[in-house]
Amino acid sequence: MSTISIGQAVVLGIVEGVTEFLPVSSTGHLKITEGLMDIPVDDKAVVAFTAVIQVGAIAAVLTYFFKDIVRIVSAWGRGLANREERHHHDYRFAWWVIYATIPIVIVGLVAKPLIEGPLASLWVVAGSLIVGSGLMWAADQIGRHKRGEDDTSLKDAMLVGSSQILALLFPGFSRSGATMSTGLILDLDRVTATRLSFFLGIPSLTGAGLYELKDATGGGVGALPLAVGTVVSFVVAYASIAWLLKFVAKHSFNAFVVYRVVIGMALFGLLGAGVLNA
């Protein structure tokens, strides 16, 4: 019998698509939603399911930024073949994305038992939502928002990429929230920090999804719910990306900060009252 029904897969796909790239923690929202639907959040197959449907959201990024990705990959290919092309920013940026992915891969493999065990608790999600909000608010206040995409460096990519580890270890912290906040602290403008977050998320989230695929299909979830959740997350994530880029061009992250604190406090209340099982 499947651990997750088709209806539940649709709901989880919507939640994933809406929250993956918003700085509110997709993992946290998925775990809360799973808890409300009495789905065991620490079940290996369920943990794998949430990782796999992220691939739908990543496919949305690949589709939305297709021209940019083709430009960057083409520049990387030309640079590998021709030394004179290696001065191009896109060539260097491609390598930066690769380098910046290495830390989270290492931590993900080493800390996998913790990530799927004690750190999967909804208590951790609640605390991380609130703590991450503090970082996001501080970053928005500290950052001078003066550097654009052409001003980014290897240092920026490594620091922003490594910040993904916070979200990996502490569900609720938010991968996009951590990366965007780090970008703002480095004085990147909000749109640049957001776009950098998108690009750095492509290899890490895709790799995690493919790595977990065997546990999702072999652990009782079933191929159909997995496919449904992934397709739904793709459609919803595409719309979410378009909205977010327009939003950050004109607004601060304060609305997300307030939302995260409210959700975190509400989650603490539900857990304390025994409405949700951690």
Q: Which of 28-42, 58-72, 184-198, 209-223 is predicted with the least confidence, judged by mean pLDDT?
A: 209-223
Distance CA 36, CA 1 (A): 20
Kind plus residue range of the DSSP H or E element containing 176: helix 175-185
Mean per-residue pLDDT for 87-113?
92
pLDDT at position 215 is 63
- pLDDT exceeds 60 at position 98: yes
Higher-confidence residue: 13 or 212? 13
- pLDDT exceeds 60 at position 219: no
pLDDT tens for each residue of 150-183? 899 999 999 999 999 998 899 888 899 999 999 9
Higher-confidence residue: 238 or 108? 238
- pLDDT exceeds 70 at position 213: no
What pTM was estimated for this model as a whole? 0.85
Distance CA 35, CA 64 (A): 32
pLDDT tens for each residue of 176-193? 999 999 999 999 999 999
Backbone angles phi, psi at 147, to 5 degrees: -105, 135
DSSP string, 3-42: SS-HHHHHHHHHHHHHHTTTTT-HHHHHHHHHHHTT--TT
Distance CA 5, CA 221 (A): 8
pLDDT at position 1 is 44
Distance CA 98, CA 31 (A): 29
